[in-house]
Amino acid sequence: MALVQRIPSFSSNLRNWKSTNSTNHKPVSSLHYKTQITASSSSPFTEKHSVERYQRDQWLYKASTPSPSPPPPSPNQQDEVFVRENDIASQLPELKKLLEVLREKRESGCRGGDCGPGDVFLVGTGPGDPELLTLKAVRVIQSADLLLYDRLVSNDVLELVAPDARLLYVGKTAGYHSRTQEEIHELLLSFAEAGATVVRLKGGDPLVFGRGGEEMDFLQQQGIRVQVIPGITAASGIAAELGIPLTHRGVATSVRFLTGHSRKGGTDPLFVAENAADPDTTLVVYMGLGTLPSLAQKLMDHGLPCDTPAVAVERGTTPLQRNVFAELKDFATEIQAAGLVSPTLIIIGKVVELSPLWPHCTKESSCLVESR
């Protein structure tokens, strides 16, 4: 078994751009790798009904209640629909008021009565670690009037927002969309037309399974200028965190990004297994927890060796990161036993055993490590 080291927990205070010293590492020898989690640990991201979300977006609820609180856990989908619709209705008065303020500000600053719309920035915030942000992303985030942010934008990144800017949560989870994609489009358009500088914050990279292309296309058709600020996609950031090269001479000649989502919301992934079972290709599966058992079986049925190394990474690059390493034949079972939750990234391929964290010490893996 290979030695595994705990990744240090970084406390981020990026307003002052100070780096912190890492904690002492303790070696662990285990198939299931995780950081130390205490009872007080909370998600590094914005969960749908978290206290942090309502505190951050408190300005939206002034017309209804001065101190909004998360609703109680919902037992069924009908209750979730009610919560969503009630939440939107509560926010509308303040959204309309902000639009009026922005329009008045735009008109008062116009010369000759001809003012163009504001700009929209699609900004990728990386996989979770705020220190992976680009300098351009930080500058744009700090200059925004309004920021629409997803669930997988880390809380530390949101601390960079200017005090007078407004934040609006538009995140989505399985079974609960705080805003539909069409509603997000209309919000971006309305505030851009009012002259605001609007930032659309997305985890990872906005154009890699982030629906950024749809938003860009919609806004450009309406005459709105859109600028894309790329982010480090989860595949690159998490693979680097684990010491996994996505391509490697003599081991993997290509890498393929796959979505684990099914268009019909079932347990079968999109139909990619037939042409994805290439032992010389690294597969990276986004949003694949629900469909992994089916995908893994299909990959093996189409010729991918059952002992192909694989890793699943929950909340990658954050202090709460957890990893599960296993061979493909045992992969789904090990993930279920570990109880991994979304967001989890999956990497399948021979390059996984190049990671110093890979626990299966074999002659082949030793040779692969020496060839780097």
1 is catalytic: no
Q: How far apart are the C-alpha atoms of 346 and 333, rounded to whole Å?
A: 14
Active-site pick, 105, 172, 268, 329: 172
Q: How far apart are the C-alpha atoms of 345 and 66, rounded to whole Å?
A: 38
150 is catalytic: yes
Q: Is-contact 287 260, C-beta < 8 A?
A: yes
State the amino acid at position 180 in one-letter form: T
Question: b/e map of 190-208 (b: 16 or more CB within 10 Å)?
Answer: bbbbbbbbbbbbbbbbbbb
172 is catalytic: yes
Active-site pick, 119, 150, 156, 205: 150
Active-site pick, 202, 287, 298, 350: 287
Q: Which long-range contacts (CB under 8 A, 24 or more apart) does 107-113 make?
A: none
**Whole-Å CA distances, 296 to 23, 203, 216, 308, 340:** 37, 26, 34, 10, 17
Distance of CA 120 to the CA centre of its chain: 20
DSSP string, 272-303: -HHHH--TTEEEEEES-TTTHHHHHHHHHHTT
Residues with catalytic roles: 150, 172, 287
